[in-house]
Amino acid sequence: DAKTTQPPSMDCAEGRAANLPCNHSTISGNEYVYWYRQIHSQGPQYIIHGLKNNETNEMASLIITEDRKSSTLILPHATLRDTAVYYCIVRIIQGAQKLVFGQGTRLTINP
């Protein structure tokens, strides 16, 4: 699976949009981009995933560049409860494949 690069930490003001970048320059054509987050002392929570089109759900939006070498997770109106470590992972969807976690981005939402 392709390697991802994320900033180690970010801050965002409550109520503002939080934009979390992820670089995956070696991504293959059949690899999806997944985002998870982990709030302290809990299991990771699935947020969203996509292949090449932008995706939106009730939690967030995923913007993937046209060359697919990077993506941005957008939390439109961040709340204090969005403080967590956010992981960007790329992998193929072919059977039940494992997810390999990097170090992620520690996002802190400030009041």
Partner 1 sequence: GAVVSQHPSRVICKSGTSVKIECRSLDFQATTMFWYRQFPKQSLMLMATSNEGSKATYEQGVEKDKFLINHASLTLSTLTVTSAHPEDSSFYICSAWTSGGAETQYFGPGTRLLVL
Closest CB to partner 1 among 17 and 51? 51
Q: How far is the CB of 20 from partner 1 (least distance, A)?
A: 16
Closest approach, Cβ 92 to partner 1, in A, equals 10
Q: Which residues bind partner 1 (CB under 8 A)?
A: 34, 36, 38, 41-46, 49, 87, 93, 95-104
The least distance separating partner 1 from the CB of residue 23, rounded to whole angstroms, comes to: 17
Residue with smaller CB distance to partner 1, 43 or 111: 43
The CA–CA distances, whole Å, from 45 to 26, 77, 88, 109 equal 25, 18, 12, 17
Pairing of the two strands 45-50 and 105-110: unpaired
Residue closer to partner 1 (CB basis): 80 or 93: 93
Q: 49 - beta bridge partners?
A: 34
Q: Amino acid letter at 25?
A: S
Q: Of the candidates 108, 102, 48, 44, which has an alpha carbon nearest to the alpha carbon of residue 82?
A: 108
Query: Taking the complex as a whole, how short is the minimal distance between the CB of residue 90 and partner 1, in angstroms?
Result: 13
Distance of alpha carbon 55 from alpha carbon 64, whole angstroms? 9
